[in-house]
């Protein structure tokens, strides 16, 4: 890459700080598609939502294939088969897609999230919302979860434990941008779960929500299968690629004129909010604050 060039990619700048510094030093104007502002106008460019849709869907299908019992209730000649119980940690795009998929497969679904605002969406999809009082909800966080108080974390841990030990499947999706994924599923909770139960952790690449999670690995602990996979999109390359490509095209339309010329409009909140480096400096405020810590 030559100096003065524009670089568009998924940089994961909150963690790849060395790369960010290198791009700035080489005078490369870089845009990271994974930090596009979470606004209504930017939805058509939001690759995180697109890939999370795939992840939530594939996580449930993987769990259904791994679990040694049916998801739906069946009335059989041998009696009634009770439906599987699924607990979903985190009700972002991936979590809500997991809810929809699990419900379509006939499971009984419960959802935990620190953001009370998502309760209506969860209930609307036919799942039960697990309420834990006292959560901090930062409206400036762009719809993401934020760090919680220690007192809340203790109540949260107990609530998750009580529901987890009754569940057949747990789908972990909770993440906080720029930080390690919150540990919501303790070792003691996993060890108290029913043998044969399945945990799918799609927050594995940032540490995972389960203490037993190992990124890109399947761990079996006391008969519980824990699958760490943050890259389910690669298992659905056709539609995932179409979605990703459309997101990129929509973003490029903000920077490329109809004649094909590059026009970086720094007054556009999406262009400005997605830029990480420019003029040999780091221009993304959150990335800059992480690097300067």
Tell me how many helices (H) and strands (E) the chain has: 9, 13
Q: Are residues 195 and 283 in the same domain?
A: no
Residue 20 in domain: yes
pLDDT of residue 3: 44
Contacts of 63 (CB under 8 A, 6+ apart): 86, 169, 171, 198, 200
Section 117-140 average pLDDT: 82
Rounded to two decimals, the pTM is: 0.88
Helix (H) or strand (E) segment spanning residue 159 = helix 150-164
pLDDT at 213 over 80: yes
What CATH number is given to the structural domain containing 133? Answer: 3.40.50.720
Q: Which of 235, 262, 277 is the last residue of a domain?
A: 235
pLDDT at 140 over 50: no
Task: Name the more confident of 261 and 114.
Answer: 261
Give the active site residues: 38, 43, 46, 49, 144
Backbone angles phi, psi at 226, to 5 degrees: -115, 115
Length of the chain: 293
Q: DSSP alpha helices (H): ranges in 165-292?
A: 187-191, 237-252, 269-274, 285-291
What digits encode the pLDDT tens for the residues 70-124? 999 999 999 999 999 999 999 999 999 999 999 999 999 999 998 888 999 999 9
Crossing angle for the helix pair 237-252 and 47-66, to the nearest 10 degrees:
170
Query: 26: closest CA among 52, 4, 50, 57?
Result: 4
> What is the percent of the chain where pLDDT is above 70?
94
Q: Are residues 221 and 283 in the same domain?
A: no
Q: Are residues 175 and 216 in the same domain?
A: yes
Q: Are residues 270 and 224 in the same domain?
A: no
Q: Which residue range(s) make up the domain with 157?
A: 49-235
pLDDT at 256 over 80: yes
Query: What b/e readout covers 110-134, taking b as 16+ CB neighbours within 10 angstroms?
Result: bbbbbbeebbebbeebebebbebee
Q: Are 226 and 201 in contact (CB under 8 A)?
A: yes
Q: Are residues 103 and 150 in the same domain?
A: yes
Number of structural domains (the chain) is 2
pLDDT at 19 over 80: yes
């Amino acid at each position: 890459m030559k100096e003065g060039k524009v670089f568009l990619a998924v940089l994961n700048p909150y963690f790849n700080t060395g790369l960010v510094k290198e791009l700035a030093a080489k005078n490369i104007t870089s845009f990271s598609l994974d930090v596009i502002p979470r606004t209504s106008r930017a939805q058509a460019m939001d690759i995180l939502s697109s890939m999370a849709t795939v992840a939530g869907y594939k996580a449930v299908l993987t769990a259904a294939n791994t679990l040694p019992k049916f998801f739906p209730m069946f009335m059989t000649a041998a009696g009634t088969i009770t439906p599987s119980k699924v607990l979903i940690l985190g009700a972002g795009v991936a979590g809500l897609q997991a809810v929809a998929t699990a419900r379509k497969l006939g499971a009984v679904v419960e959802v935990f999230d620190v953001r009370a605002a998502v309760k209506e969406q969860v209930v609307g999809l036919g799942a039960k919302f697990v309420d834990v009082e006292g959560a901090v909800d930062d409206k400036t966080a762009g719809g993401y979860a934020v760090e919680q108080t220690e007192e809340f974390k203790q109540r949260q841990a107990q609530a998750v434990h009580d529901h987890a030990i009754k569940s057949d499947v747990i789908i972990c999706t909770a993440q906080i941008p720029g930080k390690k994924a919150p540990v919501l599923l303790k070792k003691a909770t996993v060890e108290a779960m029913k043998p044969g139960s399945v945990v799918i952790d799609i927050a594995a690449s940032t540490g995972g929500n389960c203490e037993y999670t190992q990124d890109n690995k399947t761990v079996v602990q006391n008969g519980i299968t824990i699958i760490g996979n943050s890259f389910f999109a690669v298992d659905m390359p056709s539609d995932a690629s179409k979605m990703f490509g459309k997101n990129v095209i929509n973003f490029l339309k903000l920077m490329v004129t109809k004649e094909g010329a590059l026009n970086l409009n720094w007054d556009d909140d999406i262009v400005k909010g997605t830029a990480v480096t420019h003029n040999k400096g780091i221009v993304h405020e959150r990335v800059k604050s992480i690097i300067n810590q």
